[in-house]
């Protein structure tokens, strides 16, 4: 008579426990907790920071445009590249938005959005083609295109600027309107974020971004379309910056040649703070989005806490350096763990 023995179920091995454990150990969780702590501290110092109509709205609205740029930047960084031209693309597409409304009377708003996204995508494609085919580091290429795109913007804009009166009321409403108490701009940004996260997680092309960033040489040997994926990443980054440029015009109404200035560093900072490894292959757009919220929330919160401007910048710098050091420590620990597992398997 045979007996069947059932191995005891180890505690913590259920799917629910694994999900809880993965959430607890995720980099995004730590950044989210930091964001909550900043909001709590600022609200304790000044309750209107959160508990007022304008305070809650600004908390959601202000980071929304940077979120779009940071998501595109995160995708590029995951492929072990970087895009320094995103701020210039935001400025160009923001001014294009105003010119379209001024020069083409009655143009549909949807066509303006398409124009901004297409222009941003084309400018991103230039970056991607130069990086992929010329084999020049992205840092060098996009530093050059950053100045070229900004120069075109300054030459095109001159001393002129777009004023709120030049834009249709319906379009300007996108920058202030709310749906169920949530700013429309924030809803647009979150929809884009969800779409990007789903693509990176569930579609083969998205997963290949990580493979390329982890080891470009191995990706080539494996037969992945490395150049095509790199170009795609830059096109997405440019297109999202173009979308941010259109929404910038709706949000602020006034557009000058300085629009988007410095956004490239903020986008990189948001992605790195959010756990996207600058060495590529690691991170999520969720982390980049939380990083964008944390970065701009800190900028709003620290003056309320009475911290000088110098220390505000220093705090952001410490966060970026801390994120890079943490990524390095985690990478070393993972490498040692893999070596130990390999030795045990022999």
pLDDT digits (tens), the chain, 346 positions:
444 444 444 454 566 766 666 665 567 788 888 888 888 988 988 888 888 878 888 888 989 999 999 999 999 999 999 999 999 999 999 999 999 999 998 899 999 999 999 999 999 999 999 998 888 899 999 999 999 999 999 999 888 889 888 899 999 988 888 888 899 999 999 999 999 999 999 999 899 999 999 888 888 888 888 899 999 999 999 999 999 999 999 999 889 988 989 899 999 999 998 889 888 888 899 999 999 999 899 888 888 887 777 777 787 788 778 777 777 776 677 667 767 766 676 6
Please report the pLDDT score of residue 293 as a whole number. 93
Residue 153's contacts (CB-CB under 8 Å, 6 or more residues apart) are 88, 91, 92, 95, 257, 259
Please report the pLDDT score of residue 9 as a whole number. 47
237 and 76 Cβ atoms separated by less than 8 Å: yes
SS3 assignment, position 178: strand
Please report the pLDDT score of residue 324 as a whole number. 76
Question: In angstroms, rounded to a whole number, what is the distance separating the alpha carbons of residues 70 and 331?
Answer: 23
Torsional class of 92: left (φ above 0), alpha (ψ -120 to 50), beta (otherwise): alpha
DSSP 283: -
291 and 274 Cβ atoms separated by less than 8 Å: yes
What are the Cα distances from residue 108, in Å, to 52, 96, 290?
35, 14, 33
Give Cα 84 distance to the centre of its chain.
Answer: 13
CATH topology for the 52-277+284-302+311-325 domain = ABC transporter involved in vitamin B12 uptake, BtuC (1.10.3470)
Question: In angstroms, rounded to a whole number, what is the distance separating the alpha carbons of residues 174 and 243?
Answer: 13
Task: Domain ranges for the chain, please list them.
Answer: 52-277+284-302+311-325
C-beta atoms surrounding 303 within 10 Å? 13
Q: Give the Cα-Cα-Cα angle 333, 233, 81 (nearest 5 degrees).
A: 50
Please report the pLDDT score of residue 328 as a whole number. 72
Please report the pLDDT score of residue 21 as a whole number. 66
Please report the pLDDT score of residue 31 as a whole number. 84
Q: What is the DSSP string of 18-31?
A: HHHHHHHH-HHHHH
Q: Find residue 178's DSSP bridge partners.
A: 183
Please report the pLDDT score of residue 308 as a whole number. 76
Q: Find residue 183's DSSP bridge partners.
A: 178
Longest CA pairwise span in the chain (Å): 94
Question: In angstroms, rounded to a whole number, what is the distance separating the alpha carbons of residues 55 and 50?
Answer: 5
Question: In angstroms, rounded to a whole number, what is the distance separating the alpha carbons of residues 183 and 64?
Answer: 9
């Amino acid at each position: 008579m045979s007996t069947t023995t059932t191995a005891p179920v180890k505690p913590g091995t259920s799917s629910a426990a694994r999900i809880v454990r993965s959430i607890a150990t995720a980099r995004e969780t730590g950044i989210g907790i930091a964001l909550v702590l900043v909001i709590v501290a600022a609200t304790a110092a000044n309750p209107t920071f959160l508990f007022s109509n304008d305070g809650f709205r600004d908390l959601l609205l202000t980071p929304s445009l940077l979120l779009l740029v940071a998501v595109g930047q995160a995708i590029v960084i995951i492929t072990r590249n970087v895009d320094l031209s995103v701020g210039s693309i935001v400025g160009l597409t923001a001014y294009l938005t105003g010119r379209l409304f001024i020069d083409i009377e009655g143009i549909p708003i949807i066509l303006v959005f398409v124009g901004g996204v297409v222009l941003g995508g084309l400018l991103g494609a230039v970056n991607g083609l130069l990086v992929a085919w010329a084999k020049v580091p992205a840092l060098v290429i996009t530093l050059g295109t950053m100045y070229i795109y900004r120069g075109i913007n300054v030459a095109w804009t001159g001393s002129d600027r777009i004023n709120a009166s030049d834009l249709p009321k319906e379009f300007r409403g996108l920058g202030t309107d709310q749906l169920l108490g949530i700013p429309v701009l924030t809803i647009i940004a979150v929809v884009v974020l969800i779409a990007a996260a789903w693509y990176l997680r569930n579609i083969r092309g998205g997963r290949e971004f990580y493979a390329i960033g982890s080891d470009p040489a191995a990706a080539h040997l494996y037969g992945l379309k490395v150049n095509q994926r790199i170009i795609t990443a830059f096109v997405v980054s440019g297109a999202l910056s173009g979308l941010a440029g259109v929404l910038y015009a709706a949000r602020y109404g006034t557009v000058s040649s300085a629009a988007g200035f410095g956004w490239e560093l903020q986008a990189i900072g948001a992605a790195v703070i959010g756990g996207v490894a600058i060495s590529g292959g690691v991170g999520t757009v969720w982390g980049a989005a939380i990083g964008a919220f944390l970065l701009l929330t800190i900028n709003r919160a620290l003056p309320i806490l009475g911290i000088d401007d110098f220390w505000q910048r220093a705090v952001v710098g410490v966060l970026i350096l801390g994120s890079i050091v943490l990524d390095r420590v985690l990478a070393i620990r993972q490498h040692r763990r893999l070596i130990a597992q390999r030795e045990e398997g022999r």
